[in-house]
Amino acid sequence: MFPLLRRLPVRRIPWVGYSNFTTSYVLRSDTNDLLYEILNSKNQGKTNIQSYKGIQEKKRQYPKTKERKKRIVVNWSTGSDRAKEAANFVISDIFKLNYKGSIKVVNPATNRLEFVNIRDYAKGLDLTKHGLSIVNVDHAAKGVQVPLVKIVNSKIALKNYSNLLAQQKEEQLAELGFKKKTMDASKNDSSLKHVRVSWQITLDDLSKQKANEILSLLKRGNKVNLYLGDKDTSNSRDWMENFEHLEDAGKEMTHLPKREVERRDAILSKVWEIIDEYSISPIISGNTNSKMLIKLSPKPSILEKVDKRDLKEQKKRQRQEKLQQRIERKKQLIASN
């Protein structure tokens, strides 16, 4: 009946009965499958368990495609490689802060903050002209962070990206034991000016008095540190010390009333409106829930004007000095005669 079995060497195999065979194997005429079933009947249970574990392990190692997390990729069609890196860097930070990509932006028509998704906001952005910048992080609810994003000039976006990379490098050097620049060093900088703004300020005062103070400093070529905080904080004797270690300000998680949050957002939006024309690459620390430090630098065009003015004044002083020297020499000649 089984001619193949007659050619095999005689081997004693204990009979295990038909009960261990599946119906499919008994009905099939495949001799090799039947022999395989007989030889492995003793270890069948272990084999099945091992096979089951192997399948489950493979499922864990190789999940289905639909179960894998999709990476957020933006295929920019414009801009240089550096501009694309800068934009992707900002988008990466946005998703670190808010995994859904929810952001706040200022609607230019209403001048109010609105919720949008960065996927929609970044569509059609021309990186040759514009870039993205995170200007603030709003702690809307416990554990939920919503970045405030603004479209800025491409040069500003690239400058911000360079500053962030430099800051990361500085932090790495600090971890290796190198000394980090402190606020005391900046206090001794004669070109650096400090301006305090209270969260309790009215928009009218901010638009007139404070705006004039900030812009006059930037127009003269000064760097400006803008301090935003509560009135009690900014009026204390050592008020600048309250703005140190602002990287821990977000951990305080102070929950403010909705009206207060909206008022502070409006103040911050007004600040961006004031400095947009005269400042480049603002560096931001802290958040509107507590305190903020905004470091402003004048635009290169303003610095060029300041340099020209300084050069004129320097030449004028030199002419006056030469004239004074001539007068002194004449006096000496008259006295000697």
Q: Is residue 219 part of a domain?
A: yes
State whether 258 and 185 are in the same domain: yes
Residue with tokens 């970045």: 147
Q: Is residue 139 part of a domain?
A: yes
What is the pLDDT, as a whole number, of residue 22? Answer: 47
State whether 76 and 52 are in the same domain: no
Residue with tokens 């990476």: 71
Q: Domain end: 180, 206, 238, which one? A: 180
Tell me the average pLDDT of the chain.
74
Cβ contact 74:122 at 8 Å:
yes
pLDDT digits (tens, 9 = 90+) for 149-167: 988 888 888 888 888 888 7
**How many domains, the chain?**
4
Q: What does the angle CA 125 – CA 280 – CA 187 come to, to the nearest 5 degrees? A: 145
Domain boundaries, position 335: 308-337
Alpha carbons 247 and 250: distance in angstroms, whole number: 7
What is the pLDDT, as a whole number, of residue 24? Answer: 45
**Which of 60-74, 223-237, 306-320 has the weakest average pLDDT?**
60-74
In the DSSP assignment, the letter for residue 267 is: H
For residue 323, what pLDDT band results from cuts at 50, 70 and 90? confident
Q: Is residue 303 part of a domain?
A: no
State whether 51 and 128 are in the same domain: no
State whether 187 and 286 are in the same domain: yes
Q: pLDDT: is 242 or 126 the higher one?
A: 126
What is the pLDDT, as a whole number, of residue 21? Answer: 45
State whether 196 and 291 are in the same domain: yes
pLDDT at 279 over 50: yes
What is the pLDDT, as a whole number, of residue 27? Answer: 44
Q: Is residue 34 part of a domain?
A: yes
Q: Is residue 56 part of a domain?
A: yes
Q: Domain end: 66, 90, 116, which one? A: 66
Q: What is the mean pLDDT of residues 63-68?
A: 46
State whether 215 and 241 are in the same domain: yes
Q: What is the reported pTM?
A: 0.45
pLDDT at 16 over 60: no
State whether 294 and 314 are in the same domain: no
Q: Domain end: 180, 196, 222, which one? A: 180
